Structure 1
Amino acid sequence: MKIAVIGSGYVGLVSGACLSEFGHQVACIDMDAGKIQRLKAGAIPIYEPGLEDLVARNAGAKRLSFSTEIADIAGAQAIFIAVGTPTRRGDGHADMTYVHSAAKQIAGALKDYAVIVTKSTVPVGTGRAVERIVRETNPKAQFDVASNPEFLREGAAINDFMRPDRVVIGTDGERAKEIMRQIYRPLFLIDTPIVFTKLETAELIKYSANAFLAMKITFINQVSDLCEKVGADVHDVARGIGLDGRIGGKFLHPSPGFGGSCFPKDTRALIQTARDAGSPLSLIEATLDFNEARKTQMAERIVAALGGKPEGKTVAVLGLTFKPNTDDMREAASVTILPALQKRGIKIRAHDPEGMEEAKKQMPDLDYRDDPYDAIDGADALVILTEWNSYRSLDLDRVKTLLKAPIFVDLRNIYRPAEMQAAGFQYSSLGRTA
């Protein structure tokens, strides 16, 4: 089957590469000529494990191509819209500018029947808006609209696409349903649940899923604070409740707060959609408020570890991205925490295995180091902000020797308090007492 994907960002590139791996003929189209040129040359603009090899293999097999020409949608039976939907400045709504623009471009180039599929994360009503735009632009167009939200975790996106928990497809047209079944036929063969719904339902499923996971993160972070007050261990609490099949253990790990390209943006958009509909979601509003406050609280925790006298101190920070196995800096905790420390007179030496180039765009005045031990050498304290695997097995004797003082602030709880105390560190973590 011939498929076109409009947008070659994170979602579009991963989706296009994976669909071509299914055996489909996929054209990824993006208006950024520089990006397309780099992709044609084999340069991947994002860090995602396994993506470079996947793109190279399918491009080499002539199943995956890259173009700036919207006319290349000709003959495609399905056209996926996978463009950005950032938070709109000023009101928290998702900015639909790129989606609407893509719909107009598709309408102008559409000659034969196709399913126009929104892959971007979009608010309820977007599919109907796309349908209206296409009909107004090209009254003779033959098409159906479908919503097929992505559920890709950065750092594990290829596995999530190839072996998903479920595939959600919202559409009213029987012809569209059959085409979508054929696209995802390889997943039918491994008994992946394919959930067909109304258009609006599929759109709301995506936002609801992300909001629920964000709420779960905030819940365990609040419990973590309570654990510190009463002498409990948050990891034992998380395990104890996570073994309940109704709850599950995922997303019950204390952290400096959630970030990334999805949870903050999608919770804001869902909040605004609910308010506009006259059905506010107070739980999600509280989730977002607490998450923003938590990042500031983490900065104060670091200051407290320095004895409350931060002026002139140097802190080594390991991990800048919002999670490991990605170079994504969007709304990472570091973007709030580190400038707050700098305002208190703290000098920051930073290391991240993949995220430093992106971090420099947002925090150009940090002292970036290519090696974690170089960042630690002579610092007054060490802070772990992102749980990269390479930080889980630091040479603790070397770390202690390099630090001016053995202050170790672990905001991802990747070490054990008793072991760190026995090693001679003043160790601070989340929701646990020594």
Structure 2
Amino acid sequence: MRISVIGCGYLGTVHAAALSALGHVVTAVDTDKAKVHQLSDGGVPFFEPGLARLLDAGRHAGTLRFTSAFVEVADCDVHFLCVGTPQQKTTHHADVTHVFSAVDALIGHLHEGSVVVGKSTVPAGTSAALLRLLAGTGAELAWNPEFLRQGTAVDDSLQPDRLVYGVADGDAGVRVSTVLDEVYAPLLDKGVPRLVTGFKTAELAKSAANAFLALKLSYMNGIAELCDGIGADVSALADALGLDSRIGGRYLSAGAGFGGGCLPKDVRSLGAQAQDAGAHSLATLLGLVDDMNFGARQRIHDAARDMCGGDLSARRITVLGAAFKPHTDDVRDSPSIDIALRLARSGADVTITDPQAVRKAWLNYPQLRFEADTLEALRGAELTLLLTEWPEFCALSPADAASVVSRTAVLDGRNALPADIWRSAGWEYRGIGRGASSNSVAGTVGASAAI
């Protein structure tokens, strides 16, 4: 099929590459000419494992190209909207300006039978407004939410948990579903579950899923605070909870909390929609989730202050991690950066290191100090904080680290380090919610999960 993807940000670039890998001919459009030029020349604007290989395969096969000219998608039959929907600057609602701008730009290039497919995360009711905009064009609309996780987005695209189609009632919905079945035929042939719903249900699917995951994470941070208060071990407790098949072991990691460009804004957007719809209990719950997430960051700041004798002034602190999670260079709403800023405001001399995100973090936060080499970043540190659980940080040798720091003290903000090994190497170790049992090592379930 000839398909266009509108928007070459994180979602659009990954989706375009995946559609090409599924056998389609894809034209991806973005108004940012520098980004289009970079992608056309074989570059990737962000770090995502496996994406460069997928992009190269599509370009070399001639099934994937990038342009800034909407006229080049006039021969496409299916158009995916993959533009950003950030939080509004003055409210918790999502800003859908880019969605409507994309459709405005598309309208002159649509034809009878064209299908416009939204993938961006939007408030319920957006499709109804877009249908009015598309009236008279002969095009039909569907909403097909994405469920990508940064760090595993390529696998999530080619081996998704489910496909959700939001379509109109009656024959129009049947026609659009048939088109989407053709788009995703290789996935459906592998048995990927397919759910057909109305527009509003599909529009809620991504934000409702993200809010639920955020709820699990914030719940465990609340439990971690309780564990610290009574001397229990939240990591062992997470393993006990995770063995319950009704709960599952994923997203039960206590620590610095969640961040990135999706979970925080989706929690707030869903809360704003709930408030508007009179679902005040849900709005209150989601507000608490957001508050608890920021509270987790402050508790790590306070724990660092305690480990520095109650005063952070001029104390040299190294933060391991700048990205909001491993396997990405995304620093949007990064707990690591937020905590580093709080420490700096309290007078600490902070150095941050990260395997992928140093340059992007430095460009966004020039007031902080960054160092790409881990051991160099640790040199002279009086306190080490693990805040992004990159594999190379989790596998860091305590002996190697001890050879360059000025004080062997580590605050494990992700409960990802083997406490007994670090203590045996002479380090003062402190976890989050580990209480008096901080020597224990996380058990077999493995509560950490890619967010």
Give the TM-score range, shorter chain.
Answer: over 0.9
State whether residues 335 and 362 of structure 1, in contact with CA within 8 Å, keep that contact through their aligned partners in structure 2.
Answer: no
Q: Tell me the residue number matched to 2:143.
A: 147
SS of the residue aligned with 2:26? strand
Q: Tell me the residue number matched to 2:233.
A: 233
Q: Tell me the residue number matched to 1:165.
A: 161
Counterparts of 1:259 and 1:15, CA distance in 2: 22
Counterparts of 1:126 and 1:293, CA distance in 2: 33
Counterparts of 1:369 and 1:184, CA distance in 2: 43
Where in structure 2 are the equivalents of 1:151-300 lying within 5 Å?
151-172=147-168, 173-280=173-280, 281=282, 282-300=284-302
Report the more deviating stretch, 259-268 or 363-372: 363-372
State whether residues 322 and 386 of structure 1, in contact with CA within 8 Å, keep that contact through their aligned partners in structure 2.
Answer: yes
Counterparts of 2:262 and 2:367, CA distance in 1: 27
Q: Tell me the residue number matched to 2:444.
A: none
How far residue 108 of structure 1 moved from its aligned partner, in angstroms, is 2.1
State whether residues 306 and 407 of structure 1, in contact with CA within 8 Å, keep that contact through their aligned partners in structure 2.
Answer: no
Counterparts of 1:382 and 1:168, CA distance in 2: 44
In the TM superposition, what whole-angstrom CA distance separates every residue of 1:229-274 from its partner, at most 9, and x where no partner exists?
2222212211111111111111011120100010001111111111
Q: What amino acid does structure 2 have at the position aligned with 1:374?
A: E
Report the more deviating stretch, 211-220 or 104-113: 104-113
1:35 and 2:31 correspond: no
SS of the residue aligned with 1:57? helix
Q: Tell me the residue number matched to 1:411.
A: 413
In the TM superposition, what whole-angstrom CA distance separates every residue of 1:162-183 from its partner, at most 9, and x where no partner exists?
1111111110221111000111
Q: What amino acid does structure 2 have at the position aligned with 1:146?
A: A
User: How many aligned positions are there?
Assistant: 430
How far residue 419 of structure 1 moved from its aligned partner, in angstroms, is 2.7
* TM-score, structure 2 normalization: 0.93
In the TM superposition, what whole-angstrom CA distance separates every residue of 1:131-187 from its partner, at most 9, and x where no partner exists?
11222xxx2x11111111100000000101111111111102211110001111111
SS of the residue aligned with 1:299? helix
1:94 and 2:94 correspond: yes
How far residue 8 of structure 1 moved from its aligned partner, in angstroms, is 0.4
Q: What amino acid does structure 1 have at the position aligned with 2:166?
A: G
Q: What amino acid does structure 2 have at the position aligned with 1:277?
A: A
How far residue 317 of structure 1 moved from its aligned partner, in angstroms, is 1.1
Report the more deviating stretch, 337-346 or 42-51: 337-346
Unaligned runs of 5+ in 1: none
Q: Tell me the residue number matched to 2:446.
A: none
State the identity %: 37
State whether residues 5 and 82 of structure 2, in contact with CA within 8 Å, keep that contact through their aligned partners in structure 1.
Answer: yes
Counterparts of 1:421 and 1:40, CA distance in 2: 50
Counterparts of 2:422 and 2:347, CA distance in 1: 27
Question: RMSD of aligned C-alpha atoms?
Answer: 1.1
State whether residues 146 and 199 of structure 1, in contact with CA within 8 Å, keep that contact through their aligned partners in structure 2.
Answer: yes
Q: Tell me the residue number matched to 2:4.
A: 4
Report the more deviating stretch, 361-370 or 8-17: 361-370
How far residue 28 of structure 1 moved from its aligned partner, in angstroms, is 0.4
SS of the residue aligned with 1:47? coil
State whether residues 83 and 120 of structure 2, in contact with CA within 8 Å, keep that contact through their aligned partners in structure 1.
Answer: yes
In the TM superposition, what whole-angstrom CA distance separates every residue of 1:96-148 from its partner, at most 9, and x where no partner exists?
1100101111112213321111111111011111111222xxx2x11111111
How far residue 418 of structure 1 moved from its aligned partner, in angstroms, is 2.7
Q: Tell me the residue number matched to 1:66.
A: 66
Counterparts of 1:431 and 1:293, CA distance in 2: 14
Q: What amino acid does structure 2 have at the position aligned with 1:427?
A: Y
How far residue 214 of structure 1 moved from its aligned partner, in angstroms, is 0.5
State whether residues 29 and 70 of structure 1, in contact with CA within 8 Å, keep that contact through their aligned partners in structure 2.
Answer: yes
How far residue 366 of structure 1 moved from its aligned partner, in angstroms, is 2.1
State whether residues 29 and 70 of structure 2, in contact with CA within 8 Å, keep that contact through their aligned partners in structure 1.
Answer: yes
Unaligned runs of 5+ in 2: 439-451
How far residue 421 of structure 1 moved from its aligned partner, in angstroms, is 2.1
How far residue 362 of structure 1 moved from its aligned partner, in angstroms, is 2.5
Counterparts of 2:44 and 2:410, CA distance in 1: 36
State whether residues 94 and 265 of structure 1, in contact with CA within 8 Å, keep that contact through their aligned partners in structure 2.
Answer: yes
Q: Tell me the residue number matched to 2:370.
A: 368
In the TM superposition, what whole-angstrom CA distance separates every residue of 1:301-335 from its partner, at most 9, and x where no partner exists?
11111111211111111111100000000100123
How far residue 341 of structure 1 moved from its aligned partner, in angstroms, is 0.8
Q: What amino acid does structure 2 have at the position aligned with 1:80?
A: F
In the TM superposition, what whole-angstrom CA distance separates every residue of 1:374-394 from its partner, at most 9, and x where no partner exists?
011111111111000111121
SS of the residue aligned with 2:56? helix
SS of the residue aligned with 2:62? coil
Q: What amino acid does structure 2 have at the position aligned with 1:381?
A: L
State whether residues 312 and 346 of structure 1, in contact with CA within 8 Å, keep that contact through their aligned partners in structure 2.
Answer: yes
Counterparts of 1:393 and 1:334, CA distance in 2: 19
State whether residues 415 and 432 of structure 2, in contact with CA within 8 Å, keep that contact through their aligned partners in structure 1.
Answer: yes
Counterparts of 1:398 and 1:232, CA distance in 2: 31
Report the more deviating stretch, 58-67 or 71-80: 71-80
State whether residues 410 and 429 of structure 2, in contact with CA within 8 Å, keep that contact through their aligned partners in structure 1.
Answer: yes
SS of the residue aligned with 1:373? helix
How far residue 29 of structure 1 moved from its aligned partner, in angstroms, is 0.4
Report the more deviating stretch, 102-111 or 196-205: 102-111
4+ residue segments displaced more than 4 Å: none
State whether residues 168 and 196 of structure 1, in contact with CA within 8 Å, keep that contact through their aligned partners in structure 2.
Answer: yes
Counterparts of 1:15 and 1:255, CA distance in 2: 31
Q: What amino acid does structure 2 have at the position aligned with 1:38?
A: Q
Counterparts of 1:126 and 1:156, CA distance in 2: 28
State whether residues 75 and 112 of structure 1, in contact with CA within 8 Å, keep that contact through their aligned partners in structure 2.
Answer: no
Counterparts of 2:400 and 2:357, CA distance in 1: 24
SS of the residue aligned with 2:208? helix
Counterparts of 2:308 and 2:81, CA distance in 1: 49
State whether residues 255 and 296 of structure 2, in contact with CA within 8 Å, keep that contact through their aligned partners in structure 1.
Answer: no
SS of the residue aligned with 2:403? helix
* TM-score, structure 1 normalization: 0.97
Q: What amino acid does structure 2 have at the position aligned with 1:219?
A: Y
In the TM superposition, what whole-angstrom CA distance separates every residue of 1:394-427 from its partner, at most 9, and x where no partner exists?
1211212321111111101122333322221111
Counterparts of 2:314 and 2:243, CA distance in 1: 46
Where in structure 2 are the equivalents of 1:123-138 lying within 5 Å?
123-135=123-135
SS of the residue aligned with 2:429? strand
In the TM superposition, what whole-angstrom CA distance separates every residue of 1:333-352 from its partner, at most 9, and x where no partner exists?
12321111111111111110
Counterparts of 2:428 and 2:407, CA distance in 1: 9
